[in-house]
Amino acid sequence: MTRTVAQKRADFRALHEQGCFVIPNPWDTGSARYLQGLGFKALATTSSGHAWSQGLADGAQSRDTVLAHLRDIVAATDLPVNADFENGFASDPQGVAESVRLAVETGVAGLSIEDSTGNAADPLFPIDIAVERLRAARKAIDAAGGGTLLVGRAENFFAGRPDLDDTIARLKAYAAAGADCLYAPGIKTREQIAAVVAAVAPKPVNLLVGGASELTMKDIAELGVRRVSVGGGLARAAWGGFIQAARTLAEQGRFDGFANAAAGNELNAFFRPFAE
């Protein structure tokens, strides 16, 4: 099945209307195709996962590099793709609008805009400025036809400002500014999750589960979350296996780290049809 960009965007929106789904985060063409093969219904990029694959820290990539990556992932899969578009690669609303316009042109079905400044001393945009940035993103999406889903992100817990009340105030403001889905990466407890879901209802909430958690998908669905992403979790899991095997080889001269490696013939069998 080959879906048009418009179909993928419509299908992506429909996923947010009921139930709860996982939106895993590939970092390259191979991981995107493999996740599609496992039956997931949508994918999201990961700024950290892709940056590490390029030998860079998260946040160090240019807008042009990220746009090229979005085009690669969109082309690699028939699934809707949500872009981890960081803070829109601009501080002012006009710059955010231009970045969003370019992101929409890549064919993504959704994109997120963070309220982080990138300045450790003052990590969050004031809420009024953050709202104007979201409004600019909304206008850019609407000018392009409106099909791309806009995710508003409150980065409080990631930015060292774990204030739930301020997080909720920001998310409610972003919803009013036109965000279709709300996201507060870093919240973890049932109480935090339930509070965020209730505050922005009926708009859907994305929950990040990037590490081991006592919560199951059933638990998360019962809390009212619509979608669950894993951020750089899969990329870190892959790096974990690589680092362990490489260190064992470098430090001990042993090959034990290859014990749980994927079989080459299995990977070749999976990827061979994509060359046809």
In a domain, 49, yes or no: yes
In a domain, 228, yes or no: yes
Residues 225-257 pLDDT 10s: 999 999 999 999 999 999 999 999 999 999 999
CB 116 within 8 A of CB 155: yes
In a domain, 251, yes or no: no
| Number of domains comprising the chain | 1
Confidence check: pLDDT of 2 > 90: no
Q: What is the residue range of 43's domain?
A: 5-233
In a domain, 243, yes or no: no
CB 207 within 8 A of CB 216: no
In a domain, 70, yes or no: yes
Residues 114-131 pLDDT 10s: 999 999 999 999 999 999
pLDDT, residue 18, reads 96
In a domain, 258, yes or no: no
Confidence check: pLDDT of 1 > 80: no
Confidence check: pLDDT of 276 > 80: no
130-145 residues labelled b (16+ CB within 10 A) or e (exposed): bbbbbbbbbbbbeeee
In a domain, 37, yes or no: yes
Residues 88-111 pLDDT 10s: 999 999 999 999 999 999 999 999
In a domain, 220, yes or no: yes
Domain of residue 119, CATH code: 3.20.20.60
